[in-house]
């Protein structure tokens, strides 16, 4: 799914990611940990094609990112669903309209996908809020909306950047359960978190590996969860 070989990225003279070589196989579940400012978001951005490595290579779905055109990158990103820590929505659109937005942008017929949209709203527990506006949602509801929007295109991979950072533990567990269910459906999951309790909560429920990013280096911190 993703293969990094001596990948590196920095801002100015400051290296953020250094000489990273790592495989994320299709259907795998990885937690990404590390202290604040370690570069977790930068690493995720390279994995969902928002950034290209300044050195080394990244292959995603068997294609070298450094050799892709802008159109190829755009098409490839449709295979990757992203859940950002700071969920951003169009405030003038309802919950249902925000979730359906990727369908509209990609040119798909929304009416033909209404059944799937309804199933997805039920799955994330938001069917009762379809007409709500983003500013009416709680933190947990916004995160569930972000997850629904990320998977509406049925991507092969989900990248989540601290999706439980602004919610209580009950909601964090619910979001984790949704991601585990996606993994059991064959989706590749890459979840950045600083919450070790979340990683412990996954033990016995999913076969996951833990990657730790520190001082620009990425290491396998644990496996067999």
DSSP H or E segment with residue 65: none
Cα distance between residue 225 and residue 223, in whole Å: 6
Q: Is the pTM of this model over 0.85?
A: yes
Cross-strand partners of 82: 159
Q: What is the mean pLDDT of residues 213-220?
A: 90
Q: What is the mean pLDDT of residues 29-50?
A: 93
List the domains of the chain with CATH numbers: 1-79+156-225 (3.40.50.300), 90-154 (no CATH)
* Tens-place pLDDT, residues 156-182: 999 999 988 878 888 889 889 999 999
Mean pLDDT across 216-222: 85
pLDDT, position 88: 86
Specify which residues 4 forms β-bridges with.
22, 58
C-alpha separations of 196 from 44, 162, 193 in Å: 19, 12, 8
pLDDT of residue 222: 64
pLDDT, mean over the chain? 89
With beta carbons less than 8 A apart as the criterion, state whether 90 and 140 touch. Answer: no
Note the pLDDT tens digit of each residue in 62-120.
999 989 998 999 889 889 999 988 888 999 999 999 988 888 888 887 777 777 788 88
Distances (CA, A) of 149 to 61, 78, 91, 97, 131: 22, 12, 15, 10, 15
Is the Cβ–Cβ distance between 80 and 190 less than 8 Å?
no
């Amino acid at each position: 799914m993703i293969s990094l070989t001596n990948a590196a990225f920095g801002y100015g003279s400051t290296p953020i990611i250094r000489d990273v070589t790592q495989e994320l196989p299709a259907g795998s579940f990885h937690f990404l940990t590390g202290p604040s400012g370690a570069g977790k978001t930068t690493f995720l951005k390279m994995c969902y094609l928002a950034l290209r490595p300044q050195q080394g290579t990244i292959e995603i779905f068997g294609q070298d990112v450094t050799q892709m055109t802008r159109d190829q990158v755009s098409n490839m990103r449709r295979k990757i669903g992203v859940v950002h820590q700071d969920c951003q929505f169009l405030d003038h659109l309802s919950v249902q309209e925000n979730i359906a937005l990727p369908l509209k942008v990609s040119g798909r017929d929304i009416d033909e996908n209404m059944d799937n949209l309804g199933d997805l709203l039920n799955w994330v527990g938001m069917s009762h809020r379809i007409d709500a506006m983003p500013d009416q949602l709680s933190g947990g509801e916004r995160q569930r909306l972000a997850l629904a929007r990320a998977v509406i295109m049925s991507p092969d991979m989900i990248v989540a950047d601290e999706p439980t950072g602004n919610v209580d533990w009950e909601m964090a567990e619910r979001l984790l359960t949704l991601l585990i269910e996606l993994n059991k459906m064959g989706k590749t999951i890459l979840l950045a978190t600083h919450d070790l309790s979340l990683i412990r909560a996954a033990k016995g429920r999913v076969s996951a590996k833990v990657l730790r990013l520190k001082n620009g280096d990425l290491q396998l911190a644990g496996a067999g969860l």
